[in-house]
Amino acid sequence: MNLGAVPDDVRRGNKRSELTTANTRILRTTLATDDCYAYWQKVDRRVPLSERARVAFEERWFGLKSDARVHTLMGDMVERFDPFPEALELLHQVRSVPAALRPWICHVHTALADPIYRRFAGELLPERRALGYTSIDREQVARRVNELYPGRWAAATATKFGSNLLATAFEAGLLDERRDPRPLIQVAPPELAIAYALYLLREVVFEGSLTDNLYLRGLGIGSESFRFIAGRMPGVRFSELGGVAELTFTEPTPRSPCCGAASARAARPCWRPTPLRLDETTDLLKRRDGVEKLSPEQRHRVLRHLQDVLGAGGTEDDVAPALETLDVFLAERRQAAERKALAELDSLLEEVGAGATVEIALELSGRELRSVAEFERLLESLRARVLPELRANHRVRLK
């Protein structure tokens, strides 16, 4: 993706500011990566804001969503992207942003427009990882919201904040489990996502510095780790002298090798994506009991996790080395996508009344049995853990 040149009339001298007023938008819309992507592709900034929702609904930008839902989404999209016209024009011109990059771009823009999400992703999650905690749950997030804004919201609203903040982080790739307790993972965004954030922030008034701020911390990068990754980011040059850091941007906009100039293609080797075979997983998901109760949009929400992994693979025209590094992670991305799709399906099936799904970790890998008596004790333990869930009409997934 060459994030190419942006017309001069889009560039403006006045810097924008991060939004600092608490709002409840995240209670209505989480990350919404697919909707954000549709907005980038189809928005015409010449259309007045008062008319955009009507145009989006008539042209089905967001699929089969209702008129009321489209109006809500449009308000969120405008709040996230329109204050940064250069970035929006850039995304509109690029058209085909790699699937692996989209959630990270949405994450940065959501953080700019929502101080609660910004502090959740850039403070609470890194803080818990640094203190050695291995998980986080909805109640812990709700408590942090109440600490930040004491007496502002009722307990039920704070709990809803907890749920939606965690759901947004899951969609962004900051977590890989949808149910509590959610394991804390090592965040690993693409280098181009970090470069995009830096290029965007250089035109924004925000708390912190370009090398140490809540946005980078939300991407898993602290002031120390920044030194190690700065030299690998496209379009960015980092130097340090006497403890003073200097960040230089070598291009007008961040550049990715996906759509580089022909000369760059000729000079650099092409990357051959590893084929991903997800048919078996897709068929398994479609055969799950209760799937027929889901609407087409709900089924899409489940399967999009697998489709995003396919998009992450790129094409034979993609240029090394930036995309070449993705090859190492494709197997892990597939496994993560399968887990996300299963978690999404479990949640939706429970919503439509098909029953909750409970995962039980058997931890049997590598275990040795030496006698019939040991085998009987194992079965007894298994019955004690599984039968109560089945009697409660829960589905049981063995791990």
pLDDT of residue 186: 87
List, by residue range, all CATH 1.10.3540.10 domains of the chain. Answer: 1-259
pLDDT tens-digit readout, 257-314: 343 333 333 333 333 334 444 555 666 676 677 777 778 777 777 777 665 555 444 4
Torsion angle defined by CA atoms of residues 303, 306, 308 and 309, in that order, rounded to the nearest 10 degrees = 180
pLDDT of residue 155: 94
Arithmetic mean of pLDDT, 160-186: 93
pLDDT at 224 over 90: no
Note the CATH architecture for domain 1-259.
Orthogonal Bundle (1.10)
pLDDT at 113 over 90: yes
What confidence tier does 370 reach under pLDDT thresholds 50, 70, 90? confident
Backbone angles phi, psi at 358, to 5 degrees: -115, 130
Arithmetic mean of pLDDT, 220-225: 83
pLDDT at 331 over 60: no
pLDDT at 24 over 60: yes
CA gap 176, 161 in Å, rounded: 19
pLDDT of residue 11: 39
- pTM value is 0.66
The residues pairing with 17 across neighbouring beta strands, listed in sequence order, are 205
DSSP run (H or E) holding 238: strand 236-241
Range in 2-11, 129-138, 149-158, 341-350 the model is least confident about = 2-11
Arithmetic mean of pLDDT, 342-369: 76
Residue 374, classed as helix, strand or coil, is helix
Using an 8 Å Cβ cutoff, are 1 and 98 in contact?
yes
pLDDT of residue 330: 53
